[in-house]
C-alpha cells in the first residue's frame, strides 16, 4: 500500500504544471487531495485530464490567510505541498509587489496555518528554486551557501526559504525546502519559457525565438522527477530529516539555452531549426545549476528520467494539446 494512501494533502498551485502532476500522482495513490485554485484555466493539465474531478476544490488566493487556514482546518489536512507562486522572472521584474505578496506572504500564510494546527499538519514541503541563491562565484550551488537573491524574483525565493527556516527553527513547524532549477514537462502553459515556447513554434511551423543569447547555463529537470522529489521530501519529515532542512534537486547535467533548444528541435522535428536570437533576457543570473549530493544521501533521490525520454513525453503532451486547440 502506498505511503500516501488515505493521507489528506493540500496542494497550492495545483493548476500549474508541477501541481497538476503531483495531484494526479497522489490521487492515483489513494490520497485525499484538496487543491487551492485561484484561476481555473481549462487548458491546465489539472482540468484537461479530469484530475480536478477527483479532488476537493477550495477557491481563493494564497495571499488571503483566512482562505489558506480554512483549507487546512476544514479538510483535516496532514500534508501541504506548497507549490503556488508567481514563477515568471519577467513578470516579477514588471510587478515586484505582486510577486512578493504571492511568494512571500503566500508562504507565511501556509506556514502560519500549519503552526496554529499542529494537531493536523505533520509535513509541509515548500517548493523553492535555485534562484534563491542569487549570483555566486563558484558553481554548483550547495545547500550550505547563503541566500543572496537581488532581482525581485530571486529575492522572493530567498525570503520564502528564510521564512520557512524561521518557522521550523522557532516553532518546530515540520517544513522542508525543495530547490529545483528549470522544470519542463507537459502542462507548462507559460509560453515564454524555452521548452514549451520552442515546441509550440516548431509544431506551428514558426521560427522559434530565444530571449537570451543562448549561452546561459541551466538545470533542466523533468516534471515527474520533481514530483518524486517533493514526495520523498515530505515522507522524510516523518522523522528522517529535521524541520527546516533544504534540498537541491538536479540531474547534474546543466545545459546551455542553445543546448536545450537543440534537444527540443531534435525531439520535435528530428533536425535543428535556426532560431531568432534576441539576446534580451533582463535581470537573470547567467549561469545556475545545483549539486544534489545531499538529496541522494539523505533522501535516496536521483533523477529517473533522461532528457531524451522526458522531452519525448513532453512533446507528445503538446502535440495533443495543440491539435485539440486547432480543432
The whole-number mean pLDDT for each consecutive block of 10 residues of the chain, a chain of 327 residues, reads 97 97 98 95 92 97 97 98 92 93 97 98 98 96 97 96 98 98 96 96 96 94 98 98 98 97 97 92 86 98 97 97 81
DSSP 156-211: HHHHHHHHHHHHHHHH---EEEEEESEEESTT---TTSHHHHHHHHHHTTPPPEES
Active site residues per annotation? 153
Spatial separation of the C-alpha atoms in residues 44 and 126, rounded to whole Å: 22
At residue 282, the pLDDT reads: 65
Nearest 5°: CA angle at 221, between 105 and 275?
105
Helix axes 307-326, 257-269, angle to 10 degrees: 60
259 CB-near residues (< 8 Å, 6+ apart)? none
DSSP-assigned beta bridge partners for residue 9: 33, 79
CATH number of the domain residue 66 falls in: 3.40.50.720
At residue 284, the pLDDT reads: 81
Spatial separation of the C-alpha atoms in residues 4 and 25, rounded to whole Å: 10
DSSP-assigned beta bridge partners for residue 183: 221
Q: Is there a domain that residue 61 lies in?
A: yes
Residue from 59, 71, 68, 79 nearest 9 by CA: 79
Q: Is there a domain that residue 259 lies in?
A: no
Radius of gyration of the chain, Cα coordinates, nearest whole angstrom: 19
At residue 283, the pLDDT reads: 66
Q: Is there a domain that residue 134 lies in?
A: yes
At residue 68, the pLDDT reads: 98
Q: Is there a domain that residue 205 lies in?
A: no
Spatial separation of the C-alpha atoms in residues 22 and 81, rounded to whole Å: 9
Q: Is there a domain that residue 178 lies in?
A: yes
Q: Is there a domain that residue 276 lies in?
A: no
At residue 88, the pLDDT reads: 87
Residue span of the structural domain in which 103 resides? 8-186+220-252+287-304
Q: Is there a domain that residue 214 lies in?
A: no
At residue 168, the pLDDT reads: 98
In this structure, the dihedral spanned by the alpha carbons of residues 106, 112, 114 and 116, taken in order and rounded to 10 degrees, is -150
Total count of domains within the chain: 1
Q: Is there a domain that residue 311 lies in?
A: no
Instruction: Please say whether the beta carbons of 71 and 77 come within 8 A.
Output: yes
Q: pTM score, two decimals?
A: 0.96
Amino acid at each position: 500500500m502506498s505511503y500516501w494512501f488515505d493521507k489528506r494533502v493540500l496542494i497550492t498551485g495545483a493548476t500549474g504544471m508541477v501541481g497538476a502532476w503531483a495531484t494526479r500522482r497522489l490521487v492515483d495513490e489513494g490520497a485525499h487531495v484538496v487543491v487551492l485554485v485561484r484561476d481555473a484555466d481549462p487548458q491546465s493539465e489539472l482540468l484537461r485530464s479530469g484530475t480536478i474531478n477527483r479532488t476537493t476544490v477550495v477557491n481563493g488566493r494564497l495571499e488571503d490567510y483566512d482562505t489558506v487556514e480554512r483549507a487546512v482546518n476544514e479538510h483535516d489536512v496532514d500534508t501541504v505541498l506548497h507549490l503556488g507562486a508567481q514563477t515568471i522572472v519577467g513578470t516579477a521584474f514588471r510587478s515586484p509587489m505582486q510577486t512578493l505578496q504571492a511568494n512571500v506572504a503566500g508562504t507565511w500564510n501556509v506556514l502560519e496555518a500549519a503552526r496554529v494546527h499542529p494537531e493536523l499538519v505533520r509535513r509541509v514541503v515548500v517548493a523553492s528554486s535555485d534562484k534563491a541563491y542569487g549570483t555566486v562565484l563558484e558553481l554548483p550551488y550547495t545547500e550550505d551557501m547563503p541566500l543572496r537573491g537581488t532581482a525581485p524574483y530571486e529575492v522572493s525565493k530567498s525570503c520564502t526559504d528564510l521564512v520557512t527556516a524561521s518557522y521550523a527553527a522557532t516553532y518546530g513547524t515540520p517544513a522542508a525546502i525543495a530547490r529545483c532549477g528549470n522544470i519542463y514537462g507537459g502542462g507548462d502553459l507559460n509560453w515564454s519559457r524555452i521548452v514549451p515556447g520552442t515546441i509550440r513554434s516548431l509544431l506551428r511551423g514558426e521560427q522559434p525565438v530565444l530571449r537570451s543569447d543562448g549561452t546561459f547555463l541551466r538545470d533542466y529537470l523533468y516534471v515527474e522527477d520533481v514530483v518524486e522529489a517533493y514526495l520523498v521530501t515530505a515522507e522524510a519529515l516523518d522523522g528522517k530529516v529535521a524541520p527546516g532542512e533544504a534540498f537541491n534537486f538536479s540531474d547534474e547535467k546543466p545545459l546551455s539555452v542553445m543546448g536545450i533548444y537543440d534537444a527540443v528541435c531534435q525531439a520535435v522535428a528530428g533536425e535543428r531549426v535556426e532560431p531568432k536570437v534576441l539576446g534580451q533576457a533582463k535581470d537573470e543570473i547567467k549561469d545556475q545549476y545545483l549539486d544534489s549530493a545531499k538529496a541522494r544521501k539523505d533522501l535516496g533521490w536521483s533523477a529517473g528520467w533522461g532528457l531524451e525520454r522526458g522531452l519525448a513525453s513532453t512533446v507528445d503532451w503538446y502535440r495533443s494539446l495543440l491539435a485539440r486547440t486547432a480543432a
